[in-house]
Structure 1
Amino acid sequence: MFLRNAWYVAGWDREIGTALHPVTMLGEAIVLFRRQDRTLAALEDACPHRKLPLSMGRIKGDTVECGYHGLTFDGTGTCTRVPGAERIPHVARVRSYPVAERYGLVWIWMGEASLADPAEIFAVDHWGDPAWGINQGDGMTIDCNYLYMTDNLLDPSHVAWVHQSSFGGAGTEETPLQTTVGEDGVTVWRWMMDAPPAPFYAPFLKFSGHCDRKQHYEVRYPSNAIIKAIFAPAGSGGEGRPFHQDVFLMDSYNFMTPIDERRTRYYWFQMRNFAPNDAEISAQFATSVRGAFEEDRAVLTAVQKGMDDKRTPNLDLKIDNGPLRFRRRLTQLIEAERASSLAAAE
């Protein structure tokens, strides 16, 4: 079901302060906390004694004290105190997870700790570039399997029906899709030429009239995506051509963390090539994007229910080529990881 040797987003760094912060990721209960120097620790959220969640305890300096009998654990998961015991049992420890902070997000490595490399965290182009603005991120829980979300983020065509007042527009119904398969993921894309701009983007374009528009929907294994919106004056766009000086660029970064088989935590933010310090524009984008993603949430929640309750088989269409190829390769990666783990255990 899940690829474990990967970095997943656990939350925004601003969410984790002086209190214990429980999360569930890939079906595993984890508790995050900050040490006195503000660095993060992530532990299995279960005391080994009676499995009370450590998140029901309290922070003591750089350690967590269980709220049931006072067993205390440091950020490595090592038990440092068992009240009333002459010695600490060697099995009195909890799993610790590699954790990193980047782009205002907290990332946890869910697999073999020795394989964790922060350099493999999804790279964000233009982060820190003073010429680019950022729409501060948001998040939501969606009651669906994360693969329905990766399907959605490899499906530019759905905007014509789900997002008619925002991302939709001329060309989004019939223009054929192109699919590119890479080592780290799948991209579905298309150029729509000489068309009116979509309602969501039109107020922010530096040019008037029709546009050449590219939809670039890219999802990398296991569940991170970048959606690139490109709008150029009509006649200036197209694959391989240099950008027009008035081109509109917006990169939407999307991170899906499975909670379990039927729930996903979704985080996002956008980078744009204009108005880098305009808080009002950032707020407008943030509100509009949230509204569009609420439309996705309604659809995906219903899709999960529909697939759970189906009485007849669902069908796949030509537009599903990208999502199906992504699923196929991800399944291969998960099976290979599982086989490697079994071999190591024998």
Structure 2
Amino acid sequence: MADFLKQTWYMIGWAGELDDGVLARTITDTPVVAFRDTAGIVHAIHDRCPHRFAPLSKGIRKGDAIMCHYHGLTFDGAGTCVDNPLGGPVPAACRVASYPAVEQDGMLWVWLGDPALADPALIVRFPWLNDEGLRSIQGYTRVDANYELLTDNLMDLTHAKFLHPGFGGDAYSPHNTMEAGRDTVLSKYVVIDIDNPEFPENAWSSHGNKVDLWDDIQWYAPATLSLSSGVVLTGRPREEGCEIPAAHVITPESAGRSHYFWGSALPKDSPLSNDGFREVLSQAFDAEDKPMIEAAQQRMGEADFWELGPVLLGTDAPAVRVRRILREMIGNEKKSQAASAEMSAA
């Protein structure tokens, strides 16, 4: 079984995904169902009825609760069974785990660890998703690969030279620098004096002039990434060009499968339509990144990344730093849990 960070917030979906009533996703091998109560507040509970183990997400939202569609047992946002329509008292054991849930910046987050540690202030903010001066889009991609492979892909953007022709292709030969903190890594890429690639040209025309490109991507443990990309006429300050912010949030479903939530935004006056913008990003993530990452996972099988003895290049430094920070955080968390268990047993 894979090791995951437990005391952390994981994104379960976009707020709009609850428009149809309930949202079910497995996070770190834990089935979770989210729903809104009649006041619009989001709740998240374990997605397995304790009676015959049917998924509660197959049930029906009923007022401030979810009714299991198998035998009608109904559970509220605290995981308490509030109705047994077959008669008789509700058994004391008839309840499911509930998880802290937060809706923020159009995103839905859940905390599967100790509820006492679930501080919403720890959630990475993406306020530009609600910026009235921008047009934002959101998407979701399910990837049959370990979540750390997706993080590797994002922290080493040199693959754009080979995998993403619309983002620069052969012209994307960036200078890279890195800044690392205790639980964050910032990787910066700059390409100077090139013809404007297809995607940024459609979003912001350089009118035939040479441009400078930048991509600043910041990783926050365990797998939330904030990207600032942009284009400006060569030699001019960034504020004169076009910045394209993006969110890349990866939630592990299991050891070999991940949820990949992505969102980005353009200035409202950009000539690129929302449909065209979505098509560009879907091409990059679904048609270019996803097949390659899944193919790599298939070749790896169930082997650990480091057990295979990867040959490392200089451009791997940001992704390697992320992996090492995350391994240390998971190791420290496991030590802390073990120490707490020993104290409880004493």
TM-score normalised by length of structure 1: 0.88
Q: In the alignment, which residue of structure 1 is the partner of 2:285?
A: 293
The answer on 1:329 being equivalent to 2:328 is no
By how many angstroms is 1:136 displaced?
1.3
User: C-alpha separation between the residues in 2 aligned to 1:280 and 1:200?
Assistant: 9
Residue in 1 that maps onto 2:186: 187
User: Does 2:224 align with 1:224?
Assistant: yes
Equivalent residues of 1:19, 1:33 under 8 A apart: yes
Sequence identity percentage? 30
Q: Which amino acid aligns with 1:332?
A: E
CA pair 125-83 structure 1, distance change in 2 beyond 3 A? closer
User: Please, which runs of 5 or more residues in structure 2 have no aligned partner?
Assistant: none
Higher helix share: 2
Structure 1 outlier segments of 4+, above 6 Å: 309-312
Using a 3 Å threshold, how does the CA distance of structure 1 residues 315 and 184 change in structure 2: closer, same or farther?
A: same
> Closer, same or farther in 2 for the Cα pair 1:129/1:30, shift >3 Å?
closer
Aligned partner of 2:122 among 120, 123, 130:
120
Question: What letter is aligned with 1:188?
Answer: S
Counterpart of 1:157 in structure 2 is 158
- Higher alpha-carbon deviation: 220-229 or 200-209: 200-209
Q: Which residue of 2 aligns with 1:307?
A: 300
Question: Could you tell me whether the CA contact under 8 Å between 2:105 and 2:130 is conserved in 1?
Answer: no
Q: Supply the AA of the counterpart residue of 1:298.
A: P
Structure 1 residue runs without a partner (length 5+): 238-242
**TM-score if structure 2 supplies the norm length?**
0.88
Stretch moving more, 292-301 or 10-19: 10-19
In the aligned structure 2, how far is the partner of 1:83 from the partner of 1:204?
A: 57
Give, in angstroms, the shift of residue 64 of structure 1: 2.2
- Give yes or no for the alignment of 1:101 onto 2:103: yes
1:281 aligns to what?
Answer: 273
Residue 314 of structure 2 is aligned to residue 318 of structure 1: yes
The equivalent of 1:253 in structure 2 is 247
Structure 1 residues 149-203: Cα deviation after superposition (integer angstroms, max 9, x where no partner): 0000101200000102334352x23x44211102331122132222222221123
**Distance between the aligned counterparts of 1:114 and 1:279, measured in 2?**
47
Q: Which amino acid aligns with 1:316?
A: L
Per-residue deviation, 1:332? 1.0
Give the match's secondary structure for 1:122. Answer: coil
Q: Name the counterpart of 2:197.
A: 198
Q: Which amino acid aligns with 2:290?
A: R
1:69 aligns with 2:71: yes
With over 3 angstroms needed to count, the CA separation of the structure-2 counterparts of 1:26 and 1:138, relative to structure 1, is same
Q: Whole-Å Cα distance in 2 between the matches of residues 138 and 18 of structure 1?
A: 17
Aligned residue type for 1:102: Q
- Hey, what does 2:92 align to over in structure 1? 90
The two structures, once aligned, show a CA RMSD in angstroms of 2.3
- Change over 3 Å in CA distance of 1:126–1:86 after alignment to 2: closer
Q: Is the partner of 1:153 in helix, strand or coil?
A: helix
Tell me the number of residue pairs that the alignment of Structure 1 and Structure 2 aligns.
Answer: 335
